[in-house]
Amino acid sequence: MPHAYETDGAAIYAESFATIRAEADLARFTPEEEPVVVRMIHAAGLVGLERDVEFSAGMAEAARAALQAGAPILCDARMVSEGITRPRLPADNAVICTLHDPKVPEMAKAMGNTRSAAALELWRPHLAGAVVAIGNAPTALFHLLNMLEDPACPRPAAIIGCPVGFVGAAESKAALMADLPAPALIVRGRLGGSAITVAAVNALASRKE
Amino acid sequence: MPHAYETDGAAIYAESFATIRAEADLARFTPEEEPVVVRMIHAAGLVGLERDVEFSAGMAEAARAALQAGAPILCDARMVSEGITRPRLPADNAVICTLHDPKVPEMAKAMGNTRSAAALELWRPHLAGAVVAIGNAPTALFHLLNMLEDPACPRPAAIIGCPVGFVGAAESKAALMADLPAPALIVRGRLGGSAITVAAVNALASRKE
């Protein structure tokens, strides 16, 4: 006997988002932020995530405006760059992940850092006005913050900083909100990851649900 | 003042896994299963995930043996296929994701199902003895179960069934464990996703931590 299940993608999205809006406490988010948080909860399958989500003032507006204006999206991992839904991008924005550039392993060795961090050095030509999406490596977010301590380093328009895990994730995200070199969105603590980061990008790229 | 942080990848892994082993309750898992659960918790950044992880008897052994023997890995989403760490694969195993095959949108329309489900029809030539990794779409897992109700459909060696979300995720994973058409690993309930699924594949592919 075949299993019967909902096979209509639009209906699945609608029911999922309705469930999230019924269960999650979204009252503290602005109308610009709320659909972003809903999509992040959706990607994680986790109502309660909203308690750890934090936007700096105006971040959602800044990210949306940058994407509308054609900003590239700089990703720390291929799981992030591959997850971004291209038809949602408002200006056929470039999606860039430099992690697998053949220069990176040698750069990492020379820097005494991870490949995830070293790969960000290759972001420099794209960084001015970009939307940054870090969903994997705390070392990448820490290295970005250190790069941006140099006033000569180009500024991104917005930073989604959602690395995940047990070493450096909470600390790097707290440092991002303390430094605030650009408008930022984080998930405080250990939670984060590529799916949550992708969801934020996809929600900021288009208001379509 | 630049931020100071751990920049040694191996040290980050070791400290992360030690934290997980100190905090999570892993006593009910076999020695074959335990490192898989540790890596899944690591990917999610979530101690407590272990309460929802369920292996059918012998699943870890079956998946490891299949990968050693060169089994292809069939993935429902590019975020899964892109996340698998190629150097961990024991036999240069093929990693296959058919979701973006140009035939899929028309197939989905004809089947009245999602593209994620329709894409599985293109798995048939690869399915015998494969390791399946479903980390996104409940409709893909339900469709696989329905395909496998036909005794003529080739059998995979093992199924990692970890779709995520609010509609069909919990139900499809419960159905997988009830039908058990092949040894299976799930995360019960809403949690799951590409990162957790990738972590399970990476742990089953190699014992290296």
Contact residues, A window 69-128, toward B, CB-based 8 Å cutoff:
78-79, 82-83, 112-115, 117
Answer yes or no: do A165 and B16 touch at CB < 8 A: yes
Quick: pLDDT tens for A114-129: 999 999 999 999 999 9
Strand ranges inside chain A, DSSP E: 53-55, 73-75, 95-97, 131-134, 158-161, 184-187
Structure tokens at B26: 């892993």
Quick: pLDDT tens for A95-153: 999 999 999 999 999 999 999 999 999 999 999 999 999 999 999 999 999 999 999 99
User: What pLDDT shows up at residue B34?
Assistant: 98
The overall average pLDDT reported for chain A is 97
* Predicted confidence pLDDT, tens digits, chain B (209 residues): 899 999 999 999 999 999 999 999 999 999 999 999 999 999 999 999 999 999 999 999 999 999 999 999 999 999 999 999 999 999 999 999 999 999 999 999 999 999 999 999 999 999 999 999 999 999 999 999 999 999 999 999 999 999 999 999 999 999 999 999 999 999 999 999 999 999 999 999 999 98
Give the three-state DSSP class for A156. Answer: coil
User: What pLDDT shows up at residue A1?
Assistant: 83
- How many cross-chain Cβ pairs, A to B, lie less than 8 Å apart? 140
Reported confidence tier of residue A45, pLDDT bands at 50, 70, 90: very high
- Give the Cα separation of A120 and A157 in Å (integer): 16
